[in-house]
Chain A
């Protein structure tokens, strides 16, 4: 079974550059989540979608961050302009059904380093 697929696995770029992270959820899953994981704050929910519609973006740190889900099989998280403090591992997860009380399935993340 294909799980959640994220790309790229690693990204190193200079501050000020635009960064785009990509996610393909598990087919048939109605919910998609973006998380950020750092040593300082652990795993933080940034935003989640239900049926391609953003439901809660209260975790997005600031206007430099934006997320889209143009269709059921693809989502992007964009940072523009990027800053060194954005360095983290970014995870995408998806879950089935219309009830969020179901397990979320995670991708293997994108390790982002902003120099």
Chain B
């Protein structure tokens, strides 16, 4: 029968290349953004965050870029390694009646080819 479910965008890169994973958000009031990495059989793992008063933040091998004008952020991974293979989620912080809460998109699957 037909399989119905979330269709995860997939990015396939060669080991050693740089990866860029993109995320669009809709709520212009979002003021805090987190990137998570989820490996098979594990929970999402915090990678890097950025607040809306910044447009770039760098970590170890990772860089997040934020463009509030077009409500877009990206995660750049330098020198991608097989261990980077996972699903990546961006999580903007959006206000609701109970306060600011993270919302998770569907994720992007990164596959690293040796």
Contact surface of A with B, Cβ cutoff 8 Å: 4, 38-43, 45, 48, 55-56, 91, 93, 99-101, 103-109
A101 touches B5 (CB 8 A): no
Our pick among A39, A91, A100 for the contact of B6 (Cβ within 8 Å) is A39
A100 touches B101 (CB 8 A): yes
User: Which of B36, B43, B99 has the largest count of A CB atoms less than 10 A from its CB?
Assistant: B43
Chain B hits for A105, CB < 8 A? 46
Using A101-B32, A105-B46 as known contacts, say yes or no to A55 and B98 having CB atoms under 8 A apart: yes
A108 touches B4 (CB 8 A): no
Using A43-B104, A101-B93 as known contacts, say yes or no to A56 and B98 having CB atoms under 8 A apart: yes
Minimum-distance CB pairs A-B, first 7 = A106-B43, A39-B5, A56-B98, A43-B104, A101-B32, A103-B46, A106-B44
**Nearest residue, chain A, Cβ from B105:** A42
**Nearest residue, chain A, Cβ from B36:** A106
B80-102 near A? 1/0 per residue, CB < 8 Å: 00000000010001001111111
What is the total number of residues of chain B having a CB less than 8 Å from a CB of chain A?
28
CA distance A74 to B44 in the complex (A): 20
Our pick among A39, A41, A55, A108 for the contact of B43 (Cβ within 8 Å) is A108
Min distance, Cβ B97 to any Cβ of chain A, angstroms? 8
CA distance A109 to B41 in the complex (A): 8
Min distance, Cβ A33 to any Cβ of chain B, angstroms? 9
B46 touches A42 (CB 8 A): no
CA distance A39 to B49 in the complex (A): 25
**Nearest residue, chain B, Cβ from A38:** B5
Min distance, Cβ B7 to any Cβ of chain A, angstroms? 10
